[in-house]
A and B are shown apart, each in its own frame.
Chain A
Amino acid sequence: MTGLPSGSTSPVALPQSIGWAIGLPLLAVVCGLGSALWMARHAPANGIHVGAWHASLLAGSERADRYTRARIAVGGLLALNRAETLYYLATTDTTGTPLHARCHYRVSGVPLPARWWSITAYADDLYLFPNAMHRYSVNQATARVSQGRFSLETGPLPPKDTAMLWLPTPGDSGLVLTLRLYQPESGLQQAPADLAAPLIERIGACT
């Protein structure tokens, strides 16, 4: 006999109840916040894929759903809507292998159907790679077009071909390439998946 009245809580059960009362809501909140952050950072975006590149067609749009808004807020804040600008992002090369700053890539294609375009290299924190040359992008004005195609290289070391345009990617980080097309031609605005997307090919060994 414990001497406790019938229906009362035992000395052992009380701390256990407090544990449930605190631990369970805490676990639920952590799961809810964690899954929301994961969705915003890693969930596949609604949109289109063209070769290695993908584009969210609702970036910046008032018609964007909550998940698209969250993804844009985390990974592309203050984007313009697609009538003004199309944004294509690549996190893999053309074979589907994730891009890395320690590797060298050749990006090549035909000039893009927009009033103005650029290709910019970002580290996986989505900021520019610090480099002594202050070179962060290749654009319509700086791209060297030969026989109807442009070509550039990214990597931690300059290309062997000194005439090749180079985007330095120092450090040990993932690599995100962003293609911006300002005022894209109307045909591309209507069918962004028809883009003749630049190829991204790994060349040589990674450092």
Chain B
Amino acid sequence: MSVRRWRWYCHPLFLVTLALATHLVAVWAMPWVIMDRVFARLAAESHGRLYTSAYFPPPSDGGQRRIVMPSPDLLYALCAYDLAAGPLEVDVAPQLNTYWSVALYAANTDNFWVVNDRQMAGRAVRWQLVPNRLDRPLRLPDGRTQLVSPTRRGLLLMRVLAGEGPAAQAAADKARRTLRCVQR
């Protein structure tokens, strides 16, 4: 086969194969890369508190460029974790008669765990987050529920309905500030 004819057959095949492989890798990597950028942005904005305790960003408004599609009706609280440094202990005890939830996200954006105020029925959230794979959540002796993160890194996001008027918003702000994340 001449060099010219070999190129005629092989170059399109090479082009399609490499383009397809790049496409698949890019689609797979996109959530990880975007989450990584969010971690970096939030860590800078929180001056490090994101990884050491908890971060309470200001209410969402038209000037915010933190995360796409923010809800202006909610107040947020965040913790990021890297379980390579040990388990993460999470405590939240909001005393609030309106909607709140605490959600855990893996580094690939999966929302792998969430609880809300109705499920907790006035009880505090007390979790220990670990990286090892278990079949089911364990109840630890100190009353903490052990949860397994599917990825070493991840994000905890607490949502609290801000309500209407200064009094409701102050109560929502107080509720979100009960979040504590401590690496043991």
Contacts and interface: CB of A to CB of B under 8 A. Distances in A.
Interface of A: 20, 24-25, 27-29, 31-33, 35-37, 39-40, 60-62, 64, 66-67, 69-70, 72-81, 84, 115-116, 118, 120, 122, 125-131, 134, 136-137, 139, 141-142, 178, 180, 182-183
Contact of A116 (B15, B99, B103, B157): B99
Interface of B: 7, 11, 14-28, 30-31, 34-35, 38, 60-65, 67-73, 99, 101, 103, 105, 108-112, 114, 116, 118, 150, 155, 157, 161, 163-164
A106 to B, nearest CB: 21
A142 B164 contact: yes
Given A116-B99, A128-B62, A136-B62, A70 B27 contact: yes
Given A80-B101, A120-B72, A125-B68, 10 more contacts: A20-B11, A28-B18, A32-B20, A70-B30, A70-B31, A74-B34, A130-B63, A134-B61, A137-B72, A142-B164
Which 10 pairs of residues, A with B, have the shortest CB-CB distance? A32-B22, A130-B62, A36-B26, A28-B18, A60-B111, A136-B72, A73-B31, A126-B68, A32-B23, A31-B19
| Interface of A, helix, strand, loop or mixed by DSSP | mixed
A122 B69 contact: yes
A126 B71 CA distance: 11
Contacts of A178: 69
5 contacts: A31-B22, A120-B73, A130-B61, A134-B62, A141-B163
A132 to B, nearest CB: 9
A115 to B, nearest CB: 6
B161 A116 contact: yes
A69 B68 contact: no
Contact of B108 (A69, A116, A120, A137): A69
A141 to B, nearest CB: 5
B23 A35 contact: yes
B109 A77 contact: yes
B170 to A, nearest CB: 16
Contacts of B103: 78, 80, 84
Nearest to A63: B110
B23 A62 contact: no
B105 A78 contact: yes
A122 to B, nearest CB: 6
B67 to A, nearest CB: 6
Contacts of A39: 27
B71 A137 contact: yes
A18 to B, nearest CB: 14
Contact of A128 (B22, B60, B163): B60
A69 B31 contact: yes
A78 B67 contact: yes
Contacts of A74: 30, 34, 68
Nearest to A82: B111
A77 B15 CA distance: 32
Nearest to A168: B62
